[in-house]
Structure 1
Amino acid sequence: MVAKKNLCVLILAAGKGTRMKSPLPKPLHIVCGLPIIAHILKAAQALGPAAIGIVVGHEAQTVVNAIQAGLSQWGITAPVVFVQQTELTGSASAVKAAIPLLQKFETVLVLNGDTPLLKAQSLARMTEVFEQNEAGALVLGVTVPDPSGYGRIIRAEDGSFENIVEDSDADEETKKIAEINSGMYVFNSHSLQTALTQLTPQGPKREYYLTDTLALIKQMNQPVVVFAGRDYQQALGINSKAQLAEAEQIMRDRVAAELMDEGVTLVRPREVYIDPGVKIGTDTRICPGCYICGNTVIGKNCEIEGNVYIKDSVIGDNVTLKMGTYIEESQVEACCQLGPYAHLRPKSVLKKGAKVGNFSEIKKSVIGEGSKVNHLSYIGDTQMGAGVNVGAGTITCNYDGKNKHQTLIGDHVFVGSNVNFVAPVTVHEYAKIGAGSTITKEVPAESLAIARSRQVVLEKKGVKKND
């Protein structure tokens, strides 16, 4: 999307969120693997704005620190400016605190900091309608099943904007209106700034309401437009843990629907947990109980059995992940097989056709093409060649108490069961390691290494038979 030099997005994220019953600031609560504010920032970034302003208040430094730490990961390249709201006297006060920023731009898109379900396409359409109507202001209106508690949008007979009536001020007839004010707007920056200076405090708390700027802009003979959002869920704000869970389910349902439309098979769509941004190829089949998180890419024709966990990893085509497999920050090439209950820790690589089986753990290692680590083994800090067979119970002893050391295993090595490699150690191609050996020295190519004591049998020294 082409960057809009005159557009500033302003996100209001200064509230306390007391109904969340948590010391964590509301914008930092997690929905589908990302903080609420991250979802909003990603939608704003898609517009190509000249700047994004974030109004902070409650636990301001905590919010600022978390956002600054995540901007690169979330793909936010627009300049982000933080604005401190010192007077918590309503939504208009939050916007007023940002006037020094807003003065630099022609158009301002105002968003709430608790609406993670917003879609970039909707925001883009809002700004387009605003520009087409040469409006002074545009408000996003949505029709909801239960409008109680929300301000109602009042339209004139011709359907144009007339005003907004708060729920507390509405008569019975007005309360029947289901189209409500979402609290999100597009403004002509100069008109907004002028209206903000003319506001008077309202209600028992003597607060300044941003909704009142619409009437003032209308009095300036500038058009005020209602943009009717088709999907009210995009405007849902999060004010409680129950609403947090609802937003999570809505977003996961969206992700599942999009993936199935692209040819992915989800056996029970509501029983898999897939983050937005995860990419999965056609005809991959995913069973219930799986968590696929972060920046994960999965290829075509994969079989992913139940209760598999994958995070920030790349999985190639035609891979089988059996029950209970756990993978993080790793790469699995085509035609590999893992599990059941295999564990890939970060920086692990499985080359094409490799196998890692029951209760085997791989850490920061490369398992070569066609190699097998099938049972009950730990392979850490290891470079393993192609065609290696690793017997059950094998361990690469990579830590000496102070430092980590590497094990190098060449192509087509055969490792018997219950072998310990005490790193640093190198085993060259086509070598064989006898079962039960502890290998501490280099093993030449095409040799047999046996490092265990000779079996000694002492007659009549076993367990005595009972009389």
Structure 2
Amino acid sequence: MKLEVIVLAAGQGTRMKSSTPKVLHSIGGKPMLQRVLGKVRDLAPQRTHVVVAQNSAEVKTALHDCDVNWVVQSSQLGTGHAVLQALPQIDVASHILVLYGDCPLVTLPSLKRCVLAGQDGLGLVTAIAPDPTGLGRIVRDATGRIKKIVEHVDLTPDQQDIKEINSGILSGPAELFRRYLPQITDANVQGEIYLTDLIGKAVENEIPVATVLASDHRDVMGVNDRVQLAEAERTLQWRYAERLMRQGVSMADPRRFDCRGQIEAGKDCYFDVNVVFEGNVHLGDKVTIGPNCLLRNVQIGSHTVIKENTVIENAELGRNCAIGPFARIRPETVLADNVYIGNFVEIKKATIAAGVKAGHLAYIGDAEIGEESNIGAGAITCNFDGKTKHRTIIGDRVFVGSNSSLIAPLIIKSGAAIAAGSSINRTVAHNELVIERSKQRHIEGGGSRFRKS
């Protein structure tokens, strides 16, 4: 079967009260339309057509790397009218699936079942909503076959209790769309051509309409305002949290968890509250993440502890490390096993060997540090001369005293010790002790000049 998909994304989104097009508002760190197109891509269609408004440059730019055919709907005259704009570009022998760019929680199984349901007629995804207020209802006959879709405002008293709703996600042969969609008029209160009226045409002409019931009504929820956007976000996050917990992760509070990418976690990991994951995150077994941490594109070995308020991005951490609190690990940093990085330590583009300790208030940038070395409080690598970044290379078992400045390019060989308060700009040999300080002077009574009286 040759499948072509039409994604409707031309709505103005006025209820969002935003200058950003509605389908570019994000949930889970991705624009809604991008999330929908990801599900479409998994269907492997022959072509995907995205119907957008006339002023759609921002949408096209944001999703420029998506392999889609952009179709412009110059005037927003309804969902049926939007599909009509795409029909001339669709092979008459194709099978069509129509879905919506503001329906970001739609699942791949529902889409696959809808496509199969529409092989001999029309397939329609429906759902059972606890509160269907404002949504179109599915009206069935005594045998259970669908008769029509009735919008909320048109419900009769005996239809008010119907809980089955129309998602608008529809599939069927292109030939059927071509034959009946042009027959639909805009003779309604809104003056629009509704795609849902195609169901009525099919019933009138005895064309089978098969429905597919979504497993969760939230799968097909449309997002029209920021309240619904927030609801969709929390639904998505709960699903991520539930999947991880079933795989062996514990969470202090699953409602205060945010995944904006992909997480692979080993057994017995623990996430405290307000942890944010972005990009691709890989965690070994028994990794502990403290509260208020951000992890972006990181790999963390088993038994490592990330303490509260720590930021780690584009980095690789070994096993049995302890990081934070209030530490920052910047891109291109690699920590070996058993590394300790304490509070207010920042590391950038550095390779840190096993057993290294940097306990407090240090900056390590563009550096290599050998095994079992110790970086004292307030020590920094001076890696930038105003034009160029330079590297600092420190050997094994080096002691760097507090408040030392290591002026790159610099090599400190294994076993050396740098006395506190030193500024070092020349190579330090094996096992050397280096002290670089001004002579201490004592001026009798000199302290009085700093007092008012």
**Partner of residue 450, structure 1:** 435
Q: Could you tell me which amino acid in structure 2 is paired with residue 339 of structure 1? A: G
CA change 1:277–1:124 in 2 (3 A) is farther
> Once the 2 structures are TM-superposed, how far is the Cα of residue 447 of structure 1 from its aligned partner?
1.9
| Distance in 1 of aligned mates of 2:240 and 2:261 | 6
> Once the 2 structures are TM-superposed, how far is the Cα of residue 408 of structure 1 from its aligned partner?
1.6
Alignment TM-score, normalising by the size of structure 1: 0.92
**Partner of residue 82, structure 1:** 70
| Distance in 1 of aligned mates of 2:419 and 2:428 | 12
| Distance in 1 of aligned mates of 2:386 and 2:190 | 63
| Distance in 1 of aligned mates of 2:224 and 2:354 | 51
Worse-matched range after superposition: 12-21 or 220-229 = 220-229
| Distance in 1 of aligned mates of 2:324 and 2:101 | 42
Alignment of 1:104-123 (within 5 A): 106-123=94-111
**Partner of residue 6, structure 1:** 2
How many residue pairs match? The answer is 452
Match of 1:349 among 322, 326, 334: 334
**Partner of residue 121, structure 2:** 136
| Distance in 2 of aligned mates of 1:190 and 1:299 | 53
> Once the 2 structures are TM-superposed, how far is the Cα of residue 105 of structure 1 from its aligned partner?
5.8
Matched, 1:292 2:277: yes
Q: Could you tell me which amino acid in structure 2 is paired with residue 36 of structure 1? A: M
> Once the 2 structures are TM-superposed, how far is the Cα of residue 219 of structure 1 from its aligned partner?
4.3
> Once the 2 structures are TM-superposed, how far is the Cα of residue 404 of structure 1 from its aligned partner?
1.8
**Partner of residue 224, structure 1:** 209
What are the superposed Cα offsets for residues 152-200 of structure 1, whole Å, 9 maximum, x if unpaired?
2111221112111222332211232221111111121221122222222
Alignment TM-score, normalising by the size of structure 2: 0.95
**Partner of residue 307, structure 2:** 322
> Once the 2 structures are TM-superposed, how far is the Cα of residue 466 of structure 1 from its aligned partner?
10
What secondary structure does 1:43 align onto?
A: helix
What secondary structure does 1:239 align onto?
A: coil
What secondary structure does 2:388 align onto?
A: coil
**Maintained 8 Å contact 1:366/1:383:** yes
| Distance in 2 of aligned mates of 1:444 and 1:98 | 73
Alignment of 1:417-456 (within 5 A): 417-456=402-441
> Once the 2 structures are TM-superposed, how far is the Cα of residue 355 of structure 1 from its aligned partner?
1.3
Alignment of 1:60-79 (within 5 A): 60-68=56-64, 71=66, 79=67
**Partner of residue 304, structure 1:** 289
> Once the 2 structures are TM-superposed, how far is the Cα of residue 275 of structure 1 from its aligned partner?
3.4
CA change 1:392–1:129 in 2 (3 A) is same
**Maintained 8 Å contact 1:148/1:175:** no
What secondary structure does 2:448 align onto?
A: coil
**Partner of residue 384, structure 1:** 369
**Partner of residue 273, structure 1:** 258
Matched, 1:155 2:140: yes
Give me the CA root mean square deviation: 2.0
> Once the 2 structures are TM-superposed, how far is the Cα of residue 66 of structure 1 from its aligned partner?
0.6
CA change 1:412–1:58 in 2 (3 A) is farther
| Distance in 2 of aligned mates of 1:158 and 1:221 | 15
> Once the 2 structures are TM-superposed, how far is the Cα of residue 244 of structure 1 from its aligned partner?
0.8
CA change 1:410–1:416 in 2 (3 A) is same
What secondary structure does 2:280 align onto?
A: coil
Matched, 1:190 2:185: no
Q: Could you tell me which amino acid in structure 1 is paired with residue 150 of structure 2? A: V
**Partner of residue 32, structure 2:** 36
| Distance in 1 of aligned mates of 2:54 and 2:282 | 37
What are the superposed Cα offsets for residues 62-102 of structure 1, whole Å, 9 maximum, x if unpaired?
01111125x4xxxxxxx322111112110011111111332
**Maintained 8 Å contact 2:115/2:172:** no
| Distance in 2 of aligned mates of 1:398 and 1:193 | 67
Matched, 1:361 2:346: yes
- The runs of 5 or more residues in structure 1 that have no matched partner are 72-78
What are the superposed Cα offsets for residues 376-406 of structure 1, whole Å, 9 maximum, x if unpaired?
0011111222221111101111122222222
| Distance in 2 of aligned mates of 1:96 and 1:186 | 14
| Distance in 2 of aligned mates of 1:277 and 1:159 | 41
**Maintained 8 Å contact 1:8/1:105:** no
| Distance in 2 of aligned mates of 1:256 and 1:326 | 21
Worse-matched range after superposition: 195-204 or 11-20 = 195-204
Q: Could you tell me which amino acid in structure 2 is paired with residue 268 of structure 1? A: D
> Once the 2 structures are TM-superposed, how far is the Cα of residue 26 of structure 1 from its aligned partner?
0.7
Q: Structure 1 residue runs of 4+, over 3 Å off?
A: 217-221, 458-467
Q: Could you tell me which amino acid in structure 2 is paired with residue 302 of structure 1? A: V
> Once the 2 structures are TM-superposed, how far is the Cα of residue 256 of structure 1 from its aligned partner?
1.0
**Maintained 8 Å contact 2:92/2:175:** no
Matched, 1:46 2:66: no
What secondary structure does 1:275 align onto?
A: strand
**Partner of residue 386, structure 2:** 401
**Partner of residue 231, structure 2:** 246
Matched, 1:199 2:184: yes
What secondary structure does 2:262 align onto?
A: coil
